[in-house]
Structure 1
Amino acid sequence: MTNLIASDHKRLIIGMGQTGLSCARFLMAKGLSFDLCDTRAELPKQDEIAEEFSQSQIFNGSLDGSLLAQYQELIVSPGIAIAEPAIAFAMKQGSRVRGDVDIFAEYVTKPIIGITGSNGKSTVTTLVGEILAAAGHKPAVCGNIGIPVLDVLLNDADYHCYVVELSSFQLETTHHLAAEVACVLNVSEDHMDRYDSMMSYHQAKHRVFQGCRSIVVNREDILTQPLTSTAMPMKSFGLSAADNAVAAKNQYAIAQLSDDSSNEYLMYEQQTIFPVAELKIKGRHNQLNVLAAMALVDSLPAQFKVSPEVLTQVLGSFSGLAHRCAWVAEKNGIQYFNDSKGTNVGSTLAAIEGLAVAGQKKIILIAGGVGKDQDFVPLADACQASVKQAVLFGRDAKLIATDLKASVELEFTETLEQALNKANDRAESGDIILFSPACASFDQFANYVKRGEVFEQLVADLLSQEGQV
């Protein structure tokens, strides 16, 4: 085993949120010693935490590099950047930095499906889990999706495999995941307030491939494709289908089987799998998510086989996740979509392109919040092609406008409620009001979930004033 088992090995868990406490409980269950620290002066329920981990010291307040350097191992929560000066100092003194996923990878003995990307991670992770569960394969769905990996690993006997959503923050401190199959769904600019370049963000994402046994890549996004041996088993997904059997080998795609544009099918190689029109989740980006999920399941060993009947049943019933391009209501021919999880430019771009009506400007976009030092220029072409008006609100509305003003009609408001009212006034039958902020929420909301809930309630209130939804 590794140095985790050394009795005199000093470990410090940095960050006592959900992930940090998960690490503490796992290490305690393994009989391993550790101390804890958090940058907050005092934690909620600190007395209870101190009682639960009575053998550990707890340090509160600003991180102290000289203190951290006394520990051979720093277990850093994903919300804390390893570039923090105190952590960087300790690393220079020889401290090893790792995270909960790295510890998980050391102990797990069952197959891991590792999923990352700028957008779509939770949707793909959930769908892979639902397919495997319906086939009786007992997956644990965990990671960045909300359930810490070490919490589920403590109940390892209950599962046959692990479907793990991974953020770039988690991957920074993961050194050898060794997934059965790994995938970067897509890469677009995000978290530029944490990374000094797109290259460093891209490199963090690609850590998911370390030690993996097979890969799934997005044919339409070269940034998802790792430099690997040609012997590495690989499947790919993308919207376009190859026109011959040789080119279509190991490819998941979408093909139109007649002149009727509604006659599209999800395909593997040149075999039809499922009609696109019968998917409950809407938009081209979600069709890509479904293709990726199928490719990941298909890349697993033979004992995880899924029958066509089970796959068809799950694809036909999967309705997606809340706050991710979710249909909210329709009134007077106007549809309302909640994409509050669209916290970056790539996600909002996917939502616009996914809901666009070819050759028509039918979308009214509501966007704004905390821009995270992003470049909003990539939205310009899609807005010019498909967006009738963009209503901007929140802290960085003017910054967004700087990049979009030449491409789309703009309106400004202070609040989300005002933005929805403006959009509704502008909309007419056949239009889509799309709430996809392209920004973080914390200027006005606790998180994207609360923001999405507020939007849906505002829609309900607005439409109830005009008659029942």
Structure 2
Amino acid sequence: MTAELQQHSSHYSLIIGLGQTGLSCARFLLQQGNAVAVIDSSEKPACLNALQKDYPEVVVKTGGIPADWLMRADSIVLSPGVDPRLPQIRQAAEAGIEIIGDIELFARHANAPIIAITGSNGKSTVTTLVGLMAQRADKKVAVGGNLGTPALDLLTDPAPDFYVLELSSFQMETVHSMNAFASVILNVSPDHLDRYDSIEDYQRAKQKVYHGTGVMVINRDDPIVSAMAVAGRDQLGFSLHESTGYEFGVLTQRGHLWLAEGDTPLMLVSDMKIAGSHNIANALAALALGSVMGLPMDAMLKALKEFKGLPHRCRFVRELHGVRWFNDSKATNVGASIAAIEGLAENGKIVLIAGGVGKGQNFAPLSPILNNYVCTIVLIGQSAEELARHVPETVQIHFAADMKSAVQAANNSAQTGQQVLLSPACASFDQFANYADRGDHFEQAVRELAA
């Protein structure tokens, strides 16, 4: 295969990782007239068949990431799932070989303003909301990135009015030249600490979204994000408290909570179909971004009233015997679970199903939240015992071998007026294909409960 690579081209871009993102990179670079080679550590990468069917001329190496392939490349395009700390990637970087990702490629070729959205939690919801708001305002908008369509597949001629991108910290690691029209870091909580040497490295990856000259949308309630605000740059804030001027916040009038712009009430929070304080913050962030884009307020509010939420993100499943069941399988870190628990807490005590792969997180911040809002916790998966060490004595603990058993244990524990919440605070890959598969198993088990 190495001889074939040498014959193939003395100048080529090497793509590492052949999932959807890697395939989109290959497609884009080939359309640009570049020679391309692809490697993947897996013997059977997800998109190998698709690549070989559409581009049989591309040389592919599976089952490893050989250093000699990297050292001969003109540039290396890393898929987000590939850790740039791998020794052979560091060696290539030290040799002066350019290492980029799909978002850097996208930024170099984008032909319309970019709305860039990142954060530990809520980014898919906000990305989808901003896209809906733009559509309600009759704007042509291309939505994707870490959510849905890979960014490079969004590039079109003629250009849309806006690109709206969800961006992960992994994607931001290899970005250097993006200058978003408006960008937001929704929040920062510890996540992916198996990928970063420190929490500061994780924060620095997120912070790249604010590079450039565009408007910085700032979560005024998050001290880490607030500290990233740059003096002299255009800023627009949002907060779960009252705001001033053109910033977005909340107001209480005649006993009802309103989304507000400064001291102007916009719509009743109760008119939204998505629940919880974290979703109020998501709505305010979307309004701030939309206002920077110049979207009419009535179009934005119409989108907010219509939006039912995304699957596996605090979605209502069913009510049974006075107990409401919610699927928040997308909560793969502690911060996301805390947001979900606090968001639902006003509606009664919670029976929580949690556990999975902990990813090196510290579970200690869950303890006071569990003490305040959770009566029973059902633990599953690889990190169940570790999680149990942070459960306060006020909370009853059950262990379950699988999701069906966990749902049954939660059903046995829950009393009328309470809620059962799947919000694992962990990744899913010890027992499930992904968070969606985990959520599907949960919903199936909930639907099978006898009425």
- Alignment match, 1:210: 211
SS at match of 2:80: coil
Separation in structure 1 between the aligned mates of residue 96 and residue 136 of structure 2, nearest angstrom: 47
- Alignment match, 1:321: 310
- Alignment match, 1:109: 111
Instruction: Tell me the amino acid that sits aligned with residue 335 of structure 1.
Output: R
Q: Deviations over 1:285-313 (max 9, x none)?
A: 0010000000011112xxxx322322222
SS at match of 2:105: helix
SS at match of 2:365: helix
Structure 2 vs 1, CA of residues 341 and 75 (structure 1 numbering), >3 Å: closer, same or farther? same
Choose from 415, 419, 429 the match for 1:428.
415
1:41 Cα deviation after fit: 2.7
Separation in structure 2 between the aligned mates of residue 190 and residue 432 of structure 1, nearest angstrom: 26
Percent of aligned pairs with the same residue? 41
Instruction: Tell me the amino acid that sits aligned with residue 257 of structure 1.
Output: Q
Q: Bigger CA drift: 420-429 or 320-329?
A: 420-429
Separation in structure 2 between the aligned mates of residue 47 and residue 327 of structure 1, nearest angstrom: 37
CA contact (8 A) 1:256 1:265 kept: yes
- Alignment match, 2:132: 130
CA contact (8 A) 2:356 2:426 kept: yes
- Alignment match, 2:5: none
Instruction: Tell me the amino acid that sits aligned with residue 246 of structure 2.
Output: N
CA contact (8 A) 2:118 2:209 kept: yes
Q: Deviations over 1:32-71 (max 9, x none)?
A: 2221111123446746634533443222222122321111
1:255 Cα deviation after fit: 1.1
- Alignment match, 1:99: 101
Separation in structure 2 between the aligned mates of residue 135 and residue 289 of structure 1, nearest angstrom: 19
SS at match of 1:145: coil
SS at match of 2:426: coil
CA contact (8 A) 1:182 1:212 kept: no
Separation in structure 1 between the aligned mates of residue 145 and residue 215 of structure 2, nearest angstrom: 20
Q: Bigger CA drift: 284-293 or 28-37?
A: 28-37
Choose from 309, 316, 319 the match for 1:330.
319
Structure 2 vs 1, CA of residues 45 and 174 (structure 1 numbering), >3 Å: closer, same or farther? closer
SS at match of 2:390: helix
Separation in structure 2 between the aligned mates of residue 81 and residue 212 of structure 1, nearest angstrom: 29
Structure 2 vs 1, CA of residues 86 and 273 (structure 1 numbering), >3 Å: closer, same or farther? same
Q: Deviations over 1:331-370 (max 9, x none)?
A: 2211000001011100000000000028x6x111010111
- Alignment match, 2:391: 404
Q: TM-score, normalised by structure 1?
A: 0.91
Matched, 1:280 2:273: yes
CA contact (8 A) 1:334 1:428 kept: yes
Instruction: Tell me the amino acid that sits aligned with residue 343 of structure 2.
Output: G
CA contact (8 A) 1:128 1:296 kept: yes
CA contact (8 A) 2:375 2:394 kept: no
SS at match of 2:346: coil
Instruction: Tell me the amino acid that sits aligned with residue 189 of structure 1.
Output: P
User: What are the residue-to-residue correspondences of 1:197-276 with 2, within 5 Å?
Assistant: 197-225=198-226, 227-242=228-243, 248-258=244-254, 260=255, 263-276=256-269
1:249 Cα deviation after fit: 2.3
CA contact (8 A) 2:370 2:392 kept: no
Separation in structure 2 between the aligned mates of residue 47 and residue 279 of structure 1, nearest angstrom: 43
Unaligned runs of 5+ in 2: 1-8
Structure 2 vs 1, CA of residues 51 and 409 (structure 1 numbering), >3 Å: closer, same or farther? closer
Count of aligned pairs: 443
- Alignment match, 1:25: 27
User: What are the residue-to-residue correspondences of 1:164-183 with 2, within 5 Å?
Assistant: 164-183=165-184
Unaligned runs of 5+ in 1: 1-6, 243-247
Instruction: Tell me the amino acid that sits aligned with residue 300 of structure 2.
Output: L
Q: TM-score, normalised by structure 2?
A: 0.95
Separation in structure 1 between the aligned mates of residue 301 and residue 230 of structure 2, nearest angstrom: 33
Structure 2 vs 1, CA of residues 318 and 47 (structure 1 numbering), >3 Å: closer, same or farther? closer
Q: Deviations over 1:238-275 (max 9, x none)?
A: 11104xxxxx12321111113x2xx1100011111111
1:22 Cα deviation after fit: 0.3
SS at match of 1:150: helix
Separation in structure 1 between the aligned mates of residue 312 and residue 15 of structure 2, nearest angstrom: 32
Structure 2 vs 1, CA of residues 215 and 37 (structure 1 numbering), >3 Å: closer, same or farther? same
User: What are the residue-to-residue correspondences of 1:2-21 with 2, within 5 Å?
Assistant: 9-21=11-23
Separation in structure 1 between the aligned mates of residue 421 and residue 44 of structure 2, nearest angstrom: 40
CA contact (8 A) 1:69 1:91 kept: no
Q: Bigger CA drift: 227-236 or 271-280?
A: 227-236
Separation in structure 1 between the aligned mates of residue 188 and residue 47 of structure 2, nearest angstrom: 38
Q: Deviations over 1:201-256 (max 9, x none)?
A: 111111111114111011110212354542211111111104xxxxx123211111
Q: Bigger CA drift: 312-321 or 36-45?
A: 36-45
Matched, 1:36 2:23: no
CA contact (8 A) 2:79 2:102 kept: yes
User: What are the residue-to-residue correspondences of 1:301-316 with 2, within 5 Å?
Assistant: 305-316=294-305
SS at match of 1:357: helix
1:184 Cα deviation after fit: 0.4
Separation in structure 2 between the aligned mates of residue 434 and residue 319 of structure 1, nearest angstrom: 18
